Structure 1
């Protein structure tokens, strides 16, 4: 019975949904990157070099 159900289910829409999710994520990251200010990017770039203390 389960085999019959699985044979009759169409999975073609999953590829479309996966592509749509990828495109949405790519666009969201691109927009976030484009809107990032220089000072914010510099602050994020200094994170690996910091000793854990916050400086403003």
Structure 2
């Protein structure tokens, strides 16, 4: 993950941020910006797309 280029969410407020990085092989990584050395979630392209679709329809509200 040392080569990953992390971007903060545009919805980040008061330091409660999720960061995303696109990885080789169509993988996407997520981490908590408050703990950059902490755990990272890595999703396949299909998993990431399913997550985004869930967000779009309010599945996680």
More strand, by proportion: 2
Tell me the TM-score normalised to structure 1 length: 0.30
Indicate the structure whose relative CO is greater, using CA pairs within 8 Å and at least 6 residues apart.
2
How does the TM-score come out when normalised to structure 2?
A: 0.28
Higher gyration radius (CA): 1
Structure 1 or 2: more helix by fraction: 1
